[in-house]
């Protein structure tokens, strides 16, 4: 019985058809979709020096661990904010999956009008997030993406990308404190229970956590004034759950918003 169950699960997973890749400055997130269902996902460190073969072998090994057959992948779509890696991933798609990869471009056919000037200056991940948020939650909406930078993206009621805000990510600030102040240690970011730290570590953690909550909610205050109080706010990215928990405005977190956006864009191309 258990053996039959495993065979059924393996057969189901082997029908996955789309590989979505979100290449960020710090992490690269991969997802495999079977129709609308995300059946596997991985978060990797973005390594600029990794070769085509290293990427190919790594991805195929990840597939094996999840009982996925690379031969069943029928499409590859990529959002990348790291241009030096684009040609490498393009070759990975050709050499290891025998197909071209589709790269999302802000000026391309995304179904979302871009009011940013010039349109090509918008990170493709921000457009992908906007497409997913509007499709899932409607407009107007704001996407807060907690990555290397914290980005705030405004989507109109009509589904237009209006623009947004870019701020340094909390990890950048934590690293700067450690690197520029000789006596300050490297700390993880977490709520301390009290804004008043009683040790050097908790004082730094308090400054990072509550300081960034103030930054996030302060920016959202002003964006809501411009877009209206009925605007939906959705958070995504590596630290979304941590900081959203203390925010006055964020009520919705969506860990895989970017991957979902890539899937939606792929479906529009078919």
Would you call 204 helix, strand, or coil by DSSP?
helix
Which residues lie across from 155 on neighbouring strands?
Answer: 141, 161
Pull the structure tokens for residue 135: 């499709």
Phi and psi, residue 236, nearest 5°: -145, 175
Give the chain's largest Cα–Cα span. 61
Pull the structure tokens for residue 9: 């699960």
- Cα distance between residue 70 and residue 48, in whole Å: 24
Which amino acids are annotated catalytic? Answer: 125
Pull the structure tokens for residue 162: 């209006």
Dihedral, CA of residue 97, residue 264, residue 119 and residue 87, to nearest 10: -10
CB environment 95-104: b (16+ within 10 A), e (fewer): ebbeeebbbb
Contact between residue 14 and residue 68 where contact means Cβ atoms under 8 Å apart: yes
- Cα distance between residue 31 and residue 41, in whole Å: 4
- Cα distance between residue 238 and residue 148, in whole Å: 9
């Amino acid at each position: 019985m258990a053996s039959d169950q495993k065979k059924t699960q393996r057969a189901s997973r082997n029908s996955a058809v789309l590989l979505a890749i979100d290449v960020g400055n710090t992490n690269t997130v991969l997802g495999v979709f079977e129709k609308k269902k995300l059946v596997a996902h991985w978060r990797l460190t973005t390594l600029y020096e990794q070769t085509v073969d290293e990427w190919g072998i790594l991805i195929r090994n990840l597939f094996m661990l999840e009982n996925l057959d690379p031969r069943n992948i029928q499409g590859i779509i990529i959002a990348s904010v790291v241009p030096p890696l684009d040609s490498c991933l393009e070759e990975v798609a050709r050499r290891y999956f025998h197909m071209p990869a589709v790269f999302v471009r802000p000026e391309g056919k995304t179904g979302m009008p871009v009011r940013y000037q010039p349109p090509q200056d918008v990170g493709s991940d921000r457009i992908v997030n906007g497409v997913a948020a509007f499709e899932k939650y409607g407009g107007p909406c704001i996407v807060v993406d907690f990555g290397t930078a914290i980005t705030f993206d405004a989507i109109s009621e009509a589904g237009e990308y209006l623009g947004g805000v870019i701020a340094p990510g909390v990890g950048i600030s934590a690293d700067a404190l450690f690197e520029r102040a000789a006596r300050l240690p490297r700390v993880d970011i977490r709520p301390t229970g009290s804004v008043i730290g009683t040790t050097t570590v908790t004082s730094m953690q308090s400054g990072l956590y509550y300081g960034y909550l103030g930054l996030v909610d302060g920016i959202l205050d002003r964006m809501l004034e411009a877009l209206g109080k009925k605007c939906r706010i959705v958070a995504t990215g590596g630290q979304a759950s941590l900081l959203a928990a203390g925010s006055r405005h964020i009520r919705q977190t969506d860990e895989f918003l970017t991957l979902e956006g890539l899937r939606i864009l792929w479906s529009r191309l078919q």
